[in-house]
Amino acid sequence: MRLLNLFIEDFRHIKGTTIEFGERITVIAGQNGTGKSSVLGWVAQLCKYNGSEKQLNGNKFEEDWSKIFRFCPDSDWDKNYKVKFKYSIQENINDKDISTRLTVITNSKDKRYRADFNRNKGEGKKAIDYPIIYLGLKRLIPIATEDKIEKNIINLTTEESNLFNALSKEILLIFGDDIKVDSIRTTNKKILAMKTDKYSHLGNSAGQDNIGQIVSSILSFKRLKKSLGIGYHGGIILIDEIDATLYAGSQIKLIEVLNKYAADLNLQIIFSTHSLEILEVIDKNIREDTFLGKGVKINFLKLFDKEIKCEINPSIDFIKLKIKAERGKKEKIEKIKKINVVCEDLSAELWIKNLISNTELSKTINPCGANLPKGNLKNLAESKNKELQKCRYVLDGDVRIEFDKKGVPKNICFLPTDKGVEVEMYHFIKSLSDSDNFWNEALNHTKETCFKDHQNGSNQNIAKNWFEDEGLKKDFFGRGYSKLFNRWKSGNKEHLNQFLTNLKNTI
């Protein structure tokens, strides 16, 4: 089974919020009072393992809902809370509703607040038969403060004892004495404590106690997998405040170990945390798309307009600001220094600006018309002067032929086609159909009125005069020749794309 998401329709101050579960690791983070522990509680309520197998400490693979939630007669009993899980079994997607209600036991008149599964549906009115281990905050009560402490007989195999030792030392970064199992029962928990030749369970730190219980959960599922064989389909481990009592190095190592065994044992491990160290490591793996990053989801719960909202895989910068309650600073955007590209004249400059508009090139280059006599720009572009060679040049297409034999230097490219700007535009517009959208029949902006004073465009001077005609600019060409150039682009996409590619290579 794989949990996909949990939709909390209505539970206390959480309404209409969706939690997404990772394939292996799910992180529930957020400020205090945002319902992180409640998410774990609802997952625990979803599952109840019907097999006879037990955890290493003798507990069942389930958790009583009364040990997770405390419902208040004054503020909860008059509410009907509802959540919905979506999960998959062998690629089949299923839903499971859980709702709460107050019932009255007729014989004794006692009231009971209970949960129902799929109450208004014909099927699936029970918890899912699936093994689960819930590690709540009671696990963090120091052993030495318990009123009752006694030995609890648990038989581990040599393999299990060795793995308990190896994983405990790996996570706690202990280099030295081997760690043995000291099984005990206290008022609040049954655990596999740690002992060495130097101390017993009474000498366990809170961090050792915490890791001991997490490692024993892994070993419990490892034993369950061996016991069930092909009948084993995985399980869920829930850990509230996973980072509590652990220093940063152990927190990070713990996540690495949990990810490995989640994959090996087909587990979904869901935990709450405030640890920026853990969140930074997971965020880095998500961004780098590592094995860990591909199997994890971060759910960040935040209070917004008095309701809880969930952000899925937010940036670590966002998480840091929220957890630390700090204000962020706007990043200073550095203005990109554009590269000057020298062209022959203003006509070429305007055309290049239009050709590169709405492309990344418009952010990086600055076309500059040199207004030099024809042929002079070509001479500059071919100069052996080192400073001039650093410049980039865009020459008119009609000088391309002069480079056919000697080759084109890397700092030169050409405008589209083999004509000058004015001649190219003249012939292109003149070739358009009388029905083309470029013309405006209602205003008599037609081919006839466009070319009546400029008949022979084969003459470059006539084409130039046509291009610079103030009346035509106003009625036909558009501001900066935008209408003229845009119509050329729409009819010459191949030439356009080739020019942009050549210009990129030149830059």
Token reading at 113 = 């607040």
pLDDT value, residue 339: 86
| Residue 489: C-alpha distances to residues 416, 497, 507 (Å) | 10, 10, 22
Q: Is 297 exposed, middle or buried (0-12, 13-18, 19+ CB in 10 A)?
A: buried
Q: Which residues contact 291 (CB under 8 A, 6 or more apart)?
A: 259, 263
pLDDT value, residue 200: 79
Under 8 Å between Cβ of 333 and 385 = no
Under 8 Å between Cβ of 128 and 96 = yes
Q: Specify if 333 maps to a domain.
A: no
Query: Residue 337: is its pLDDT beyond 90?
Result: no
pLDDT value, residue 99: 86
Under 8 Å between Cβ of 14 and 307 = yes
Select from 382, 376, 384 the least CA-distant residue to 412: 382
Strands in 211-351 per DSSP E? 235-239, 267-273, 296-304, 307-312, 339-343
Return the percent helix, strand and coil in the chain, to nearest 5: 40, 25, 35
Q: Specify if 229 maps to a domain.
A: no
Q: Helix H segments across 345-420?
A: 346-356, 376-381, 386-389
Q: Helix H segments across 367-420?
A: 376-381, 386-389
Q: Are residues 397 and 447 in the same domain?
A: yes
Q: Specify if 400 maps to a domain.
A: yes
Distance CA 290, CA 293 (A): 5
Q: Are residues 298 and 363 in the same domain?
A: no
Instruction: Read off the pLDDT of residues 470-486 as tens digits, 9 standing for 90 and up.
Output: 988 888 898 889 999 99
Q: Specify if 219 maps to a domain.
A: no
Distance CA 475, CA 168 (A): 82
pLDDT value, residue 334: 64
Distance CA 484, CA 438 (A): 8
Neighbouring-strand partners of residue 273: 29
- What is the value of pTM for the model shown? 0.67
Chain centroid offset of residue 38 CA: 24
Query: Residue 489: is its pLDDT beyond 70?
Result: yes
Token reading at 151 = 């030995």
Token reading at 264 = 């090996």
Q: Are residues 309 and 429 in the same domain?
A: no
Query: Residue 108: is its pLDDT beyond 60?
Result: no
Q: Are residues 253 and 371 in the same domain?
A: no
Q: Are residues 320 and 352 in the same domain?
A: no
Distance CA 333, CA 36 (A): 37
Q: Across residues 91-113, what is the average pLDDT?
A: 73
Q: Specify if 227 maps to a domain.
A: no
Give the dihedral sign, CA 162/163/169/172.
negative
Distance CA 46, CA 322 (A): 30
Q: Are residues 315 and 363 in the same domain?
A: no
Distance CA 103, CA 490 (A): 72
Distance CA 269, CA 239 (A): 8
Instruction: Tell me which of 324, 359, 386 is where a domain ends.
Output: 324
Q: Is 70 exposed, middle or buried (0-12, 13-18, 19+ CB in 10 A)?
A: exposed
Average pLDDT of the chain, as a whole number: 88
Count of CB atoms within 10 A of residue 462's CB? 18
Q: Specify if 468 maps to a domain.
A: yes
Does 231 or 99 have the greater pLDDT score? 231
Distance CA 112, CA 46 (A): 19
Q: Specify if 166 maps to a domain.
A: no
Count of structural domains within the chain: 2
Q: Are residues 274 and 391 in the same domain?
A: no
Q: Specify if 94 maps to a domain.
A: yes
CATH number at residue 295: 3.40.50.300
pLDDT value, residue 107: 55
Does 32 or 70 have the greater pLDDT score? 32
Q: Are residues 94 and 14 in the same domain?
A: yes
Amino acid type, 480: G
Q: Are residues 118 and 11 in the same domain?
A: yes
Distance CA 68, CA 124 (A): 23
Instruction: Tell me which of 273, 293, 324 is where a domain ends.
Output: 324
Domain that holds residue 278: 2-136+234-324
Query: Residue 186: is its pLDDT beyond 90?
Result: no
Read off the pLDDT band of 283 (50, 70, 90).
very high
Q: Are residues 368 and 307 in the same domain?
A: no
Q: Are residues 54 and 6 in the same domain?
A: yes
Distance CA 505, CA 492 (A): 20
Q: Across residues 171-189, what is the average pLDDT?
A: 86
Instruction: Tell me which of 324, 359, 374 is where a domain ends.
Output: 324
Q: Are residues 301 and 424 in the same domain?
A: no
Q: What is the DSSP letter of 306?
A: T
